[in-house]
Amino acid sequence: MMDRDEFVGRFGGVFEHSPWIAERAFDNGRIVEPLRAGPVHEALCAEFRAADHDQRLGVLQAHPDLAGKLAIAGDLTVESKSEQAGAGLDRLSAHEHARFTELNTRYMRDFGFPFIIAVKGHDKDSILAAFETRVSNDAATEFETACAQVEKIAGFRISALLPEA
């Protein structure tokens, strides 16, 4: 049986900079062996959903801007760097980068957290299109949309760590 420290060490980064989700899932008995991607994802998402609004907001705020300052400085987590590169966000033209920067600034001002999208299966154009649409959402809709995207990202990350047998 995997102990708490091993579990948190392996899955604590699935929700960006939020190991408390893995800790709570383990402590609340939601984790059963053998570990499989689907049940681990459900367990972690259940804890994320059970958290209060401010805790969930903290998870959203822990995410980096897409093609933002952290990416330019090379300060993304390994997972975020790989995900953004896979979508081509590390190869933006000056014009595209300026548009992402403009949208990031507006989005952060309006919602208080960065734009979040599970980039797997997207390219820079489809991400930009989603960004341009979602920046016009109302706050409640966008909060729920961003939370759903965080859960989707977590699912991709868990599947990479723990493929189904």
- For residue 100, what are the CA distances in angstroms to 34, 97, 106, 107, 142? 42, 5, 10, 10, 18
CA dist., res. 26 & res. 20, Å (int): 10
What is the rounded radius of gyration, in angstroms, for the C-alpha atoms of the chain?
16
In the DSSP assignment, the letter for residue 52 is -
Q: 63 catalytic, yes or no?
A: yes
Q: Which of 63, 95, 97, 122 is catalytic?
A: 63
Residue 18 and residue 8 in contact, taking contact as beta carbons nearer than 8 Å: no
Residue 57 CA, chain-centre distance (Å), reads 12
Catalytic residue list: 63
